[in-house]
Amino acid sequence: MKLGKYARDLRAEVSAVNESKTVKEIVELDAEKPIWDRCFMVAPLVLVGTRDEDGSLDLAPKHMAFPMGWQNYFGFVCSPSHLTHINIERTGEFTVSYTRPSQVLYASLAASPRYEGGAKTVLQSFPTFPAKKVDGEFIEDAYLFLECKHHKTIGGFGENCLITGEVVAAYAHPDYIRSSELDDQELIHDAPLLAYLPPSRFATITRSNAFPFPAHMKR
């Protein structure tokens, strides 16, 4: 019992020392301004596809994009003034293409401003193929493709909103599909992933490590 109390006291002392050291080292950021460009973070980079009112294709790069839970729902942050938001509100559907490291230029060009009249003519040179269950298109040679029906849009995040959709169809390049016959690290080495480091950098992921989950942990 005495040893147990000693161990607890020692942990408390170590924790107090570590906390004190951390408090001394950290720098407070101005929370009155956006903080997300003060430190690098890792994000995906996807192209969200929608239809303009005249039927033409729109592709927009998004990095604040993620699964909405363990079921097949997907969401991304958008501005209500963007045509991506306007198109989804009108059509009720969209596509998602997860780009590869070799497609960074396409993602960059997709962010090009529109000309007078609303045309984004650069997209006409993009190699695409049609979705099957929604009226949309994907960019060729991406590695994961989602067809989504609009689920709900949640506003109130300052000037932005969260658009969510139910995934009604999904496809993947065979080189990127996980398999019990292939080690995960080998797969990532052979089929690299694109990581966006906002606000202005990207990286190619070819190496990874198994995460040290606690024993018997359930998802």
Q: What is the mean pLDDT of residues 9-24?
A: 68
In a domain, 172, yes or no: yes
Tell me the pLDDT band of 217, cut-offs 50, 70 and 90. Answer: confident
In a domain, 138, yes or no: yes
Q: What is the mean pLDDT of residues 170-191?
A: 94
pTM, to two decimals: 0.87
Distance, in Å, from the CA atom of 83 to the CA atom of 152, rounded to the nearest integer, reads: 17
Predicted pLDDT of residue 7: 65
Predicted pLDDT of residue 199: 93
Higher-pLDDT residue of 182, 85? 85
In a domain, 141, yes or no: yes
- State whether residue 94 is helix, strand or coil: strand
Q: Are strands 128-130 and 193-197 parallel, antiparallel or unpaired?
A: unpaired
Predicted pLDDT of residue 102: 96
Q: What is the mean pLDDT of residues 48-74?
A: 96
CATH (domain of 138): 2.30.110.10
Q: What is the mean pLDDT of residues 191-213?
A: 95
Listed in sequence order, the residues at least 6 apart from 106 whose beta carbon sits closer than 8 Å to its beta carbon are 47, 99, 126, 139
pLDDT at 23 over 90: no
Predicted pLDDT of residue 22: 76
Handedness of CA 110, 115, 118, 121 (dihedral sign): negative
pLDDT tens per residue, range 95-142:
999 999 999 999 999 998 887 666 788 898 999 999 999 999 999 999
Q: What is the mean pLDDT of residues 160-181?
A: 96
In a domain, 15, yes or no: no
In a domain, 130, yes or no: yes
Number of domains in the chain: 1
In a domain, 180, yes or no: yes
Predicted pLDDT of residue 113: 84
The range of the structural domain enclosing residue 91 comes to: 46-205
In a domain, 40, yes or no: no
Predicted pLDDT of residue 12: 67
CA atoms within 13 A on the CB side of 213: 6
Q: What is the mean pLDDT of residues 84-98?
A: 98
Predicted pLDDT of residue 4: 67
Predicted pLDDT of residue 175: 96
Asked if 110 contacts 44 with a C-beta cutoff of 8 angstroms, the reply is no
pLDDT at 2 over 60: no
Higher-pLDDT residue of 86, 2? 86
Q: Smallest Cα–Cα separation from 196: which of 68, 127, 126, 103?
A: 103
Predicted pLDDT of residue 127: 96
Predicted pLDDT of residue 1: 47
